Structure 1
Amino acid sequence: MSHRSFLPGARASNVVIALGAFALGWAVYMRYALVEQSAVGLACRGMETLTCETRALVITLFSHSVFGIAALVAAVIQFIRPSLVMFTFALMAACVGLVIYNNGLAGLAGGLLLISFARPWRGARG
């Protein structure tokens, strides 16, 4: 019994693309509107707003390479046992990691995601 390679269908691909674009847009907004703006950093010095707390959380997470590590772990799981949900999560984490300063690990995760298309997929029809 042969298995087909991992390749999502048209509907699933549309959902994956939409979620990947959302993650990429969120990361671009966080980096260029909140993290890199010195005016936002100065305004957040004495304030405790939701925006300032989100900014502090994102800075803490990328300081510890959480986005890159999450992308790499999800990509390794996707590589070992391909599934659509894990591929989507790994793609979103890799998009965020590439934009928010975790380039090395997120780039490696992106490479593993590309290689995972050649893996046999048990959920494939046909």
Structure 2
Amino acid sequence: MANSTFTPGPRAMNWLIFTTMAATGWAFYVRYLVIEPSIVGLACDAGLKSAQCQMRSVVIALFGWSVFGAIALAAAAFQFLKPSRAGLLIGFAFAGIALVLYNNIAGAIAAMLLILSLARPGHATK
């Protein structure tokens, strides 16, 4: 078993799928229902104080600094060097967010590294 690859177990895969889909779904919501509609942008720029407008300004600032892509790349690099369930979970979640929220290159590289990390030697998890 010394040459076995890192393989998440069924329970870990269920959490991985759920978390990645939830994070990517949140990113789709934010992009297509909060950031891109001009009516929301005009209302927020006019001074509307709502949680949606605060989230909009925070997310715009974060993807302006490529924070989502940087977190995805850092988690993917950590996962590639030392495979773990947490690294895979965080990496795929932020790679999905980065791909949807305008950090395409960093998100794509992170997703590629995460997929490659599944072929690296590591302990099997349950």
TM-score (norm 2): 0.95
Who is 1:83 aligned against? 84
In the other structure, the counterpart of 1:26 is 26
Determine what percentage of the aligned residue pairs are the same residue.
44
State yes or no: 1:115 paired with 2:116: yes
Q: What is the Cα deviation at residue 3 of structure 1?
A: 4.0
- Does residue 52 (structure 1) correspond to residue 53 (structure 2)? The answer is yes
**40-49 or 70-79: bigger deviation:** 40-49
Corresponding position of 2:95 = 94
Q: How many residues align?
A: 124
TM-superposed CA distance for 1:94, in Å, is 0.1
TM-score (norm 1): 0.95
- Deviations along 1:48-67, one digit per CA (max 9) or x if unpaired, are 21110000000000001000
Secondary structure at the aligned position of 1:118 is classed as: coil
Distance 2:111 2:77 in 1: 10
Instruction: Write the deviation string for residues 77-125 of structure 1: whole angstroms up to 9, x where unpaired.
Output: 0000000011000000000000000000010000000100111113x26
1:37 pairs with 2:37 = yes
Which ranges of structure 2 fall in alignment gaps of 5 or more residues?
none
Amino acid at match of 1:112: L
Q: Distance in 1 between matches of 2:53 and 2:69?
A: 23
Structure 2: how far apart are the matches of 1:87 and 1:116? Answer: 9
Task: State which drifts further: 44-53 or 21-30.
Answer: 44-53
Aligned residues: CA RMSD = 1.1
Q: Which runs of 5+ in 1 are unaligned?
A: none
